[in-house]
Chains A and B, each alone.
Chain A
Amino acid sequence: MESIIADKKTFKYAYFPGCSLKSTSKEYDISAREVASSLGVILKEIPDWTCCGATPAHLTMHILSIGLPVKILLQVKEMGISEVVTCCAACFSRLKFANDIMSKDQLHREMVSRVLSKKYEGEVSVRHFLDVLVNEYGIESISKKIVKPLKGLKVACYYGCLLVRPPEVTKFDDSEDPHFMDDLINVTGAEAISWPYKTECCGASHSLSNTEIVLRLSNDILRFAKESGADVVAVACPMCQSNLDLRQGEIEKRYETKINLPVLYFTQLLGLALGAESKNLGLNMHLVNPFKILQEKGLL
């Protein structure tokens, strides 16, 4: 039976992939699109989009850190779509922050209009893909489309920083004990375990500049996930994924420990449960091989 709720609304959004989703985190983009098409959500990629500036912009120049996202939001406005969805947590944070400040503050509107030579007042709204799935499309509707429940898989949902903080900007989930990703993972049939490091920082943009910090913080996260009984870690941010996955080998060497914990995007797990093929989810693009555990649990 088709979900009645989903049919009541056309889920059409502008889609901003962001730089990482087109290179080191391609699998996030691939799996997100796969999930979207399974559910009938339309993600229209913004033509000729540019970088949002991420962390380096707001560390360097305030007006640049607002100007770059606003340029993207203006592009969305030109597309005639009122909501833009992004998968990258940093892009989400920057776009939301810029959007909020442009809707409220007259001074910023003036300054930005000088830089962009265009006017913007917060006409577009910014959503994260997880938010859209859980709150717009709805857990109920998704549960009706699950064809391959991921039974027996224990997942540690890792939210990271920018998805939930600051709560006044993201207005998304509880900032100390979030549960949206857990709800989504539970509906796929897997078990979202309870663990204390859901929102502890992974080291973020220090990946290149101060790698030692990333190794230490990510090690703590992986260790806690493993001690809490996780088979895999689910993430919603390309930076977190790359720190926990790409650097896992280095972490094992540095701390003389064995971890071997695959780090997957929640869209990949959701995609599997919705019946997508593993080659359409980019599961072969991870450094820590997820196939072994997925096959052991009979999910592939």
Chain B
Amino acid sequence: MKWFIDSNTLKSGFIKEVEKSSSQKIAHCYQCGKCSAGCPIAYEMEYTPNQIMRMIQLGMKDVVLASNTIWLCVSCITCTARCPREIDVAEVMDVLRRFAYRSGVYPIKGRNVPLFNKVFLRNIEKYGRLFEMSLIGTFNMLSGTPFKDTSLAPKMFLRHKINLLPEKVKGIKEIRGIFKKAGKVSRAKRQSLITIGELIHNYLKR
């Protein structure tokens, strides 16, 4: 047996939380597995999409939010397009990710995606348009692989595919304002996305 679930978990109300945020009727899922059958990333996930839906139905909040499934999901939306019960599975995955951000829970394996998201968004906030050099460099550094993709760099330069300097956006203040206000409205703790402790952890794991 993998888990021991008692009635407190089953009655926990996690499914109602997720159903409310996503506007999807998760109780409708009858576990046909069509989503998992068509998911291109399922082979790498700890739990397949239908298992995540099942665990939501069973109230297993901690397991779901700590799984790497929700971070490996690429939002290819194949699951949503094919679900016979018309459940938007991709939207549910989005909602779970936002819950994870708010509670600060990340999987042991698969921290790269939350890290990538944060670096990307910081980049936009700072420059207004994506400054790819900075994105690639910062991400590779923080994820503990500073020399990844360096072989690609000269080829990209030669083909003028990489800008050495960021583009200037005049309305940058407006962008920063949006980020600030959005942060307030969604009450997301963006600052707590990654801590120094986790940074060191990443380096040690390599």
A residues contacting B by CB (< 8 A) are: 19-20, 22-26, 48-51, 53-64, 67-68, 71, 111, 114-116, 161-162, 165-167, 175-176, 200-201, 203-206, 208-211, 213, 217, 246, 284-287
Q: How many residues of B contact A (CB 8 A)?
A: 61
Asked whether, in the complex, the Cβ of B75 is within 8 Å of the Cβ of A55, the reply is: yes
Which segment, of B53-61, B126-134, B194-202, faces chain A? B126-134
Interface residues as binary, B128-147 with A (CB distance below 8 Å gives 1, 0 otherwise): 11101001100110010000
Asked whether, in the complex, the Cβ of B186 is within 8 Å of the Cβ of A50, the reply is: no
Asked whether, in the complex, the Cβ of A56 is within 8 Å of the Cβ of B74, the reply is: no
Q: Say yes or no for B105: interface residue by CB 8 A criterion.
A: no
Asked whether, in the complex, the Cβ of B178 is within 8 Å of the Cβ of A60, the reply is: no
Q: Nearest-CB distance from A54 to chain B (Å)?
A: 8
B residues contacting A by CB (< 8 A) are: 40-41, 44, 72, 74-78, 80-81, 88, 90, 94, 97-98, 101, 110, 112-113, 115-118, 120-121, 124, 128-130, 132, 135-136, 139-140, 143, 148-149, 152, 155-156, 159-163, 167, 169-171, 174-175, 178-179, 181-183, 185-186, 188, 190
Q: Nearest-CB distance from B178 to chain A (Å)?
A: 5
Q: Which residue of B lies closest to A47 (CB)?
A: B170
- Which residues of B have CB within 8 Å of A61? 98, 101, 182-183, 186, 188, 190
Give the docked Cα–Cα distance between A161 and B159 (Å).
Answer: 27
Give the docked Cα–Cα distance between A57 and B124 (Å).
Answer: 10
Say which residue of A208, A217, A286 sits within 8 Å of B139 (CB atoms). A208
Q: Nearest-CB distance from B206 to chain A (Å)?
A: 14
Q: Which of B110, B120, B149 has the most CB of A within 10 A?
A: B120
Say which residue of A50, A60, A284, A287 sits within 8 Å of B129 (CB atoms). A50
Say which residue of B81, B115, B155, B175 sits within 8 Å of A175 (CB atoms). B81
Q: Nearest-CB distance from A298 to chain B (Å)?
A: 25
Asked whether, in the complex, the Cβ of B185 is within 8 Å of the Cβ of A111, the reply is: yes
Asked whether, in the complex, the Cβ of A167 is within 8 Å of the Cβ of B81, the reply is: yes
- Which residues of A have CB within 8 Å of B80? 165-166
